[in-house]
Amino acid sequence: MLETFGETLDPEDWQGFRLQSHRMLDDILDYTEKLRNRPVWQTIPPEVRGVFQQPVPKSAGDLAAAHAIFMQDVLPYAIGNAHPGFMGWVHGAGTPVGMMAEMLAAGLNANVGGREQIPVEVERQLLRWVRELFAFPDTASGLFVTGTSMANFISVVVARTALLGVAVRETGLPSDHGLVVYASASAHVSIAQALDMAGLGTAALRKVAQDENYRMDVKALDAAIEQDRAAGLKPFMIVATAGTVDVGAIDPLNDIADIAKRRSLWLHVDGAYGALGMLSADIAALLKGIERADSIAFDFHKWGQVPYDAGFVLVKDGELHRSAFVSPAAYLQRGMRGMAAGSPWPCDFGPDLSRSFKALKTWFTLMVYGTEKLGRVISNTCALAQHLKQRIEATPMLELLAPVALNIVCFCYRGSDQINADIVVALQESGIAAPSTTTIKGRLAIRAAIVNHRTQLCDIDALIDAVLDFGGRLGKMDERNE
Ligand SMILES: *Cc1c(COP(=O)(O)O)cnc(C)c1O
Residue 154 sits in a domain whose CATH number is: 3.40.640.10
- Nearest residue (CA) to ligand 1, atom 1: 272
Both 346 and 415 in one domain: the answer is no
Domain carrying residue 153: 111-356
- Nearest residue (CA) to ligand 1, atom 12: 272
Flag whether 52 is in a domain: no
Q: Is 438 in the pocket of ligand 1 (CB under 6 A)?
A: no
- Nearest ligand 1 atom to the CA of 188 is 11
Flag whether 100 is in a domain: no
Both 218 and 302 in one domain: the answer is yes
- Nearest ligand 1 atom to the CA of 241 is 13
Both 345 and 375 in one domain: the answer is no
Both 333 and 473 in one domain: the answer is no
Helix axes 358-393, 457-481, angle to 10 degrees: 60
Q: Is 271 in the pocket of ligand 1 (CB under 6 A)?
A: no
Flag whether 101 is in a domain: no
Flag whether 172 is in a domain: yes
Flag whether 102 is in a domain: no
**Alpha carbon of 255 to ligand 1 centroid (Å):** 23
Taking the C-alpha atoms of residue 447 and residue 443, their distance in angstroms, rounded to an integer, is 12
Both 330 and 393 in one domain: the answer is no
Taking the C-alpha atoms of residue 190 and residue 192, their distance in angstroms, rounded to an integer, is 6
Question: Which of 335-349 are b and which e, b meaning 16 or more Cβ less than 10 Å from the residue's Cβ?
Answer: eeeeeeebebbbbbb
Q: Which of 356, 387, 419 is the last residue of a domain?
A: 356
Q: Is 239 in the pocket of ligand 1 (CB under 6 A)?
A: no
pLDDT tens per residue, range 53-106: 999 999 999 999 999 999 999 999 999 999 999 999 999 999 999 999 999 999
The tally of domains found in the chain comes to: 2
- Nearest ligand 1 atom to the CA of 309 is 7
User: Under 8 Å CB-to-CB from 184, ≥6 apart: which residues?
Assistant: 207, 208, 210, 214, 215, 216, 240, 241, 244, 249, 251
Flag whether 68 is in a domain: no
Both 115 and 220 in one domain: the answer is yes
Both 209 and 328 in one domain: the answer is yes
Flag whether 51 is in a domain: no
Q: Is 149 in the pocket of ligand 1 (CB under 6 A)?
A: yes
Q: What is the pTM of this model?
A: 0.97
Name the pairing type of β-strands 179-184 and 205-208: parallel
CATH of the domain at 435: 3.90.1150.170
- Nearest ligand 1 atom to the CA of 150 is 9
- Nearest residue (CA) to ligand 1, atom 2: 272
Both 332 and 214 in one domain: the answer is yes
Decide: residue 380, CB within 10 A, 0-12 exposed, 13-18 middle, 19+ buried: middle
Q: Is 272 in the pocket of ligand 1 (CB under 6 A)?
A: yes
Q: Which of 330, 356, 382 is the last residue of a domain?
A: 356
Q: Is 274 in the pocket of ligand 1 (CB under 6 A)?
A: no
Both 88 and 122 in one domain: the answer is no
Q: Which of 310, 334, 356 is the last residue of a domain?
A: 356
Both 321 and 386 in one domain: the answer is no
Neighbours of 309 (CB within 10 A): 16
Flag whether 50 is in a domain: no
Reading the chain (482 residues) residue by residue, the pLDDT tens digits are 667 788 999 999 999 999 999 999 999 999 999 999 999 999 999 999 999 999 999 999 999 999 999 999 999 999 999 999 999 999 999 999 999 999 999 999 999 999 999 999 999 999 999 999 999 999 999 999 999 999 999 999 999 999 999 999 999 999 999 999 999 999 999 999 999 999 999 999 999 999 999 999 999 999 999 999 999 999 999 999 999 999 999 999 999 999 999 999 999 999 999 999 999 999 999 999 999 999 999 999 999 999 999 999 999 999 999 999 999 888 888 999 999 999 999 999 999 999 999 999 999 999 999 999 999 999 999 999 999 999 999 999 999 999 999 999 999 999 999 999 999 999 999 999 999 999 999 999 999 999 999 999 999 999 999 999 999 999 887 676 65
Both 275 and 307 in one domain: the answer is yes
Q: Is 251 in the pocket of ligand 1 (CB under 6 A)?
A: no
**Alpha carbon of 52 to ligand 1 centroid (Å):** 29
CB 290 within 8 A of CB 269: yes
pLDDT tens per residue, range 288-337: 999 999 999 999 999 999 999 999 999 999 999 999 999 988 888 899 99
Both 307 and 374 in one domain: the answer is no
Q: Is 241 in the pocket of ligand 1 (CB under 6 A)?
A: yes
- Nearest ligand 1 atom to the CA of 152 is 10
**Alpha carbon of 250 to ligand 1 centroid (Å):** 14
